[in-house]
Amino acid sequence: MRPISLPDVAYGATAVRPQWSDLPSSLRQAISARLGSPVVSARSAGGGFTRAFAAVLRTSAGPSAFVKAAPLQDPNSRWYAREAALTSALPSTVAAARPRWTMVDSDYFVLCLEAVEGRVPSLPWSPPDLEAALSAWSTAAAALREPTPELLAVGVPALPDILRGEMSWWSAIEAGREPLPRTARETVAAARIPELAALERDLPTLAAGSGLTHGDLRIDNVIIDGDGRAWLCDWTWPSLGAPWFDTVTLLVSAYASGLDTDACLASWEAPDDGVDGALAALAGYWLVRADGGPSSASPHSRQHQRFSGEQALAWLAERRGW
């Protein structure tokens, strides 16, 4: 078993969000009215890297709801609207909270979802939590192999287009269009740019597919409920492609946990060059972003990116014997 690596801040405590009391009074009144009774407690979501409001609200009548809210001029409001449209159309076998309602009030967009009582998995991953997360994603991927017209109507890009347009950093570095990020200068990447770029260029064809992927499957987008079942959260960035790409993304933190991630991939029919290409592309994307200076979203986002990029690169180096 390899050594365990942990980020500086736990994934359940990365968010910096407004509290319930920070929202405009008129908006709080409107949300309470829509929930049917006054809000008596609000537990802010600790995970994530946005500064938008997200909290489990409990009312005086007892029921809880998970409510997200963002000003209309904030890009998060568009993402929340997209999440509402997508999650309302997910097949019933996908373990994800469904929207109860949306509204616009006080120049805010508000999304109310079913509240899933649970916790973000801790690092290092425990085998039961990882098994639950992989099982939930396997079931979802099977249900989303042929997306319904309602899902496609949301507007879903092709994963290969995303990979070419947003995750081709080693190719840009090799061509001299981008500098080698400081975050990669003391890693194996510095001596492997041509190989990383080649893996990255081959990836779009290998990751092509017609199934709906989650697009942002990471540890803090998983909730483990009281029965040990995993729920998949934040369906904001779906794409059409091969489901194993999301599995690789999720498993980067499992690799950091010292677990046998290659064994976890055995049932996903992932081509070896595809897995290596995914790790190369993810490492490049994360390490370049980690070199971007302080983030306006969360003070911990650069930590997440550097940690994830280093672990993706380490897994790739182990697989290729670098």
pLDDT digits (tens, 9 = 90+) for 170-205: 999 999 999 999 999 989 999 999 999 999 999 999
What CA–CA distances, in Å, run from 112 to 31, 38, 86? 9, 15, 14
Pairing between strand 108-114 and 99-105?
A: antiparallel
Tell me the pLDDT tens digit for each residue of 3-13: 899 888 888 87
Residue given tokens 């987008």 in the structure block: 221
Report how far residue 58's alpha carbon sits from residue 39's, in angstroms, rounded to the nearest whole number: 6
Residue 1 has pLDDT above 80, yes or no: no
Per-residue pLDDT band for 64 (boundaries 50, 70, 90) equals very high
**pLDDT (0 to 100) of residue 2:** 78
- DSSP structural state of residue 138: H
**pLDDT (0 to 100) of residue 265:** 97
Would you kindly state where each structural domain of the chain is located, as residue ranges? 11-115, 119-320
CB 282 within 8 A of CB 167: yes
Report how far residue 221's alpha carbon sits from residue 206's, in angstroms, rounded to the nearest whole number: 25
CATH superfamily of 11-115: Phosphorylase Kinase; domain 1 (3.30.200.20)
- C-alpha angle 219-74-120 in degrees, rounded to nearest 5: 15
**pLDDT (0 to 100) of residue 7:** 87
Mean pLDDT of 68-97: 97
Tell me the pLDDT tens digit for each residue of 265-297: 999 999 999 999 999 999 999 999 999 876 667
Q: Phi-psi category of 215—alpha, beta or left, where left has phi over 0 and alpha has psi -120 to 50? A: left
Mean pLDDT of 134-149: 98
Report how far residue 105's alpha carbon sits from residue 26's, in angstroms, rounded to the nearest whole number: 8
CB 252 within 8 A of CB 311: yes
Sign of the Cα torsion 248, 95, 72, 61 reads: negative
The proportion of the chain whose per-residue pLDDT surpasses 90, expressed as a percent, equals 89
Residue 152 has pLDDT above 90, yes or no: yes
Least confident range of 44-58, 152-166, 223-237: 44-58
**pLDDT (0 to 100) of residue 13:** 79
Q: Report phi then psi at 279, rounded to 5.
A: -65, -40
Report how far residue 97's alpha carbon sits from residue 284's, in angstroms, rounded to the nearest whole number: 32
Tell me the pLDDT tens digit for each residue of 107-121: 999 999 999 999 999
* Mean pLDDT of the chain, nearest integer: 95
In this structure, which CATH number among 3.10.450, 3.90.1200, 1.10.10, 2.30.280 belongs to the domain 119-320?
3.90.1200
